Amino acid sequence: MSYILQVDFPYTGPWGDEMTNSMNELAQSIAKEPGLIWKIWTVNDQTNEAGGIYLFDTKSSAETYLAMHTTRLQSFGITPVHGKIFEINQDLSKINRAPL
């Protein structure tokens, strides 16, 4: 069983290449998180939001990461942090070409 973690929060930049350069070290750290299979970084500069869609191998890994990441973002003064965990219906997702 795999689990999706959806996170979003207010974010005012930087965007584009500047974001990529400034967040590279963070991305390297996230890649080492226990249970993480992949992350898709999400941004919307029109609504000043950012976040991510994560795939974890267990619900407990997703819950642990969400708690840690929420604390990290709040330490930067970023609130509110919205996080939701979903179990994946793999059979239906595979029909729609999900990379599972």
**pTM, to two decimals:** 0.93
* pLDDT given at position 100: 81
d(CA 9, CA 48): 9
pLDDT at 1 over 90: no
Render pLDDT for 18-29 as a digit per residue (tens, 0 to 9). Answer: 999 999 999 999
Render pLDDT for 39-88 as a digit per residue (tens, 0 to 9). Answer: 999 999 999 999 999 999 999 999 999 999 999 999 999 999 999 999 99
The yes/no answer on whether domain 3-95 falls in CATH 3.30.70.100 is yes
* pLDDT given at position 48: 98
* pLDDT given at position 18: 97
What is the residue extent of each domain of the chain?
3-95
